[in-house]
Amino acid sequence: MVALALVFAATCASACLADQLQWNSPAVCEEAVREIGSRAFLISYCSLAGQDYVQLWLVQDAWVAETSAHRLYEVNVCARRLYESRILLSPEDFPLPNAPSLFREVRHGRWFQGGIDLAYTYIHTGANAFRCLGSVMGLECLVGVETIKLPPRVMKRATVERRTSCRGTLESWVWLHPILAR
């Protein structure tokens, strides 16, 4: 009985390491990858953290990855930060003012990869609007901000940056493809 309780506690503890919608079933993760795959931009913002930076990411790829929890998976992305709010923002700060100066360009941002929480990731739904990915997918999640609208000028600059980044450079190509670096 004690062994069973320890196994249960260990399983619950590993599942608790993920936040709201970070670890999910394979079907949920595959659907999220399809949603992300049709868009170039994501916003990362944890609306329940009290305060957080709003980050605009250029996404190159998304895939389903295993976690340490049995039968739970997460969505990983390869992305680059393009813009970040200059200050920490709380849900009360939304909707954002049309002030491009609220955001700073992340110069020389490097490509990174990591898992995302579907409740704190916002997908581009058109023009300068982004909506919580978990909500778009019809998943139950708690968020303090459902939709984020960036200043149009920030989105215009990001779109130009996307075209430039998609052309790629030898340096980024080699970094993303380590076999070529040999």
> Measured between alpha carbons, how far is 148 from 130 in angstroms, rounded to an integer?
5
Q: Which helix (H) or strand (E) holds 27?
A: helix 26-37
pTM: 0.80
**Which sign, positive or negative, has the C-alpha torsion 133, 136, 140, 143?**
positive
For the chain, what are the domain ranges? 20-181
Mean pLDDT value across the chain: 84
Single-letter residue type at 140: E
Considering only the C-alpha atoms of the chain, give the largest distance between any 2 of them, rounded to a whole number of Å. Answer: 62
Q: What angle do CA 8, 11, 15 make, to 5 degrees?
A: 140
Which tens digit of pLDDT belongs to each residue from 134-160? 999 999 999 999 999 999 999 999 988
Whether the pLDDT of residue 24 is over 50: the answer is yes
CB-count exposure of residue 57 (10 Å: 0-12, 13-18, 19+)? buried
